């Protein structure tokens, strides 16, 4: 069983009333009653989380609730932003097929050991968790700690809010982390979406110091960036104009960078790295470039012999990458006979991807490509996939 519900209103009481109406209508139509819930509330409701959960638990009969605040939340057909709103996903899972996680700041080690015992007892292999960004333990540290203790796959996200953050679990409303671990009796498929487009090919780092890259492929780093940008911009500008194709190869890097705002793109670096023999990319901001010295600095500690690409993101690149990745996921699900078995999904997207002029574009693409499945989720301040914390990405967790 997997159902979703949502509610909006002028205050938390309105939201709960609409949410419960939606929940109870679906429960009454089913012979199965859910026992687990994921709840997403907009930051307008962060201070009311306890009241919301207590009423939802009491009226719905669903005993286990975990959740998080989001600057915006996904419901089945819309994205709710800058207003009181909530959405939830409700599941029916056998009691011995899940482990409940509540980590508190003041009792971190004891809480973690308790969860690990339950995780192993339930023979869990995957977890879906939510993280507080501002308490005593950093989300990236906790992700690493959870993976080291469980060796299990993880999905999830970090609370986002323009005010008070709230991560809640059972009867605790100031959690470091909340969520559930699941056994193989709860089949789950996950996908990570980058939302970037490459500019040029991948390059080898041949000289660097800490976070500063001096040379790529044996050439000055800024020269390589200039060549890649000039080639990409010539193509982009010629597509925008009926005039002759512009020649930008002789332009300075600063001149080339000046074109970017008009193209609506933000240039970044994608560093390749490996985990368990799997190639991944970590996207980092370019913090400075010095053409006279040939250097490029980022927020990432580079390594000589490593590989990096120049990438950009804008709404068009996000849509293109998400559509392509979802089609790949559809093909994989179909080949494994799982496409028709989809019950529903939880989608977490970074708030930097939010476009209030097309707020539901990611939701629309998911439903168009994977089918009319129930979806809930939120816009996060960081996304978890496998054993890593990401930014600027989207993570889809599908229940079969």
How sure is the predictor about 180, in pLDDT bands with cuts at 50, 70 and 90? very high
Encode pLDDT of 149-167 as tens digits: 999 999 999 999 988 999 9
What is the mean predicted confidence (pLDDT) over 333-352? 95
pLDDT surpassing 90 at residue 101: yes
- Say what the pLDDT of residue 62 is: 94
pLDDT of the residue at 48: 95
pLDDT tier for residue 255 given thresholds of 50, 70 and 90:
confident
- Reported confidence tier of residue 313, pLDDT bands at 50, 70, 90: confident
- Is the pLDDT confidence value at 241 over 70? no
Model confidence band, residue 264 (pLDDT cutoffs 50, 70, 90): low
**What band does 252 get if pLDDT is binned at 50, 70 and 90?**
confident
User: For the ranges 77-81, 87-91, 314-318, which has the lowest average pLDDT?
Assistant: 314-318
As a whole number, mean pLDDT of residues 194-211 equals: 91
Tell me if the pTM is above 0.75.
Answer: yes
Q: How confident is the model at residue 249 (pLDDT cuts 50, 70, 90)?
A: low
**Per-residue pLDDT, 399:** 97
Distance CA 129, CA 11 (A): 27
Q: Could you tell me how far CA 17 lies from the centroid of its own chain?
A: 29
Does the pLDDT value for residue 97 go beyond 90? yes
Pick from 380, 390, 322, 325: which is nearest to 354 by CA?
Answer: 380
Mean confidence (pLDDT) of the chain = 90
Q: For residue 122, what pLDDT is reported?
A: 95
pLDDT value of residue 229: 85
- Any residues with CB less than 8 A from the CB of 147 and at least 6 apart, and which? 154, 387
């Amino acid at each position: 069983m997997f159902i979703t519900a949502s509610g909006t209103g002028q205050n938390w009481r309105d939201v709960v009333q609409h949410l419960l109406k939606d929940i109870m209508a679906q429960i009454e139509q089913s012979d199965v009653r859910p026992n687990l819930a994921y709840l997403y509330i907009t930051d307008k409701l962060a201070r009311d989380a306890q009241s919301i959960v207590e009423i939802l638990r009491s009226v719905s009969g669903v005993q286990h609730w975990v959740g998080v605040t989001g600057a915006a939340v996904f419901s089945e057909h819309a994205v709710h932003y800058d207003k009181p709103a909530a959405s939830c996903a409700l599941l029916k899972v056998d009691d011995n097929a899940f482990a409940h996680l509540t980590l508190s700041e003041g009792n971190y080690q004891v809480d973690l050991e308790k969860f690990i015992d339950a995780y192993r007892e339930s023979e869990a292999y995957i977890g879906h968790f939510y993280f507080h960004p501002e308490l005593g333990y950093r989300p990236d540290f906790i992700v690493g700690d959870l993976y080291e203790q469980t060796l299990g796959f993880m999905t999830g996200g970090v609370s986002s809010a323009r005010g008070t953050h709230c991560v809640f679990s059972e009867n605790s409303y100031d959690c470091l982390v909340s969520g559930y671990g699941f056994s193989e009796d709860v089949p789950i498929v996950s996908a990570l979406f980058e939302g970037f487009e490459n500019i040029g090919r991948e390059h080898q780092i041949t000289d660097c110091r800490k976070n500063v890259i001096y040379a790529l492929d044996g050439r000055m780093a800024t020269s390589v960036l200039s060549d890649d940008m000039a080639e990409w911009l010539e193509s982009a500008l010629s597509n925008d104009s009926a005039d002759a194709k512009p020649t930008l190869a002789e332009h300075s890097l600063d001149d080339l960078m000046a074109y970017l705002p008009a193209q609506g793109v933000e240039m970044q670096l994608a560093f390749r790295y490996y985990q368990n023999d799997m190639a991944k990319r970590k996207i980092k901001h370019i913090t400075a470039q010095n053409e006279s010295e040939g250097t490029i600095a980022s927020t990432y500690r580079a390594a000589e012999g490593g590989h990096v690409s120049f990438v950009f993101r804008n709404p068009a690149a996000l849509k293109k990458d998400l559509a392509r990745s979802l089609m790949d996921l559809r093909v994989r699900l179909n080949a494994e006979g799982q496409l028709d078995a989809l019950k529903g999904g939880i989608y977490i997207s970074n708030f930097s991807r939010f476009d209030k002029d097309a707020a539901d574009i990611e939701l629309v693409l998911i439903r168009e490509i994977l089918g009319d499945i129930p979806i809930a989720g939120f816009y996060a301040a960081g996304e978890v996939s496998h054993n890593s914390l990401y930014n600027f990405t989207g993570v889809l967790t599908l229940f079969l």
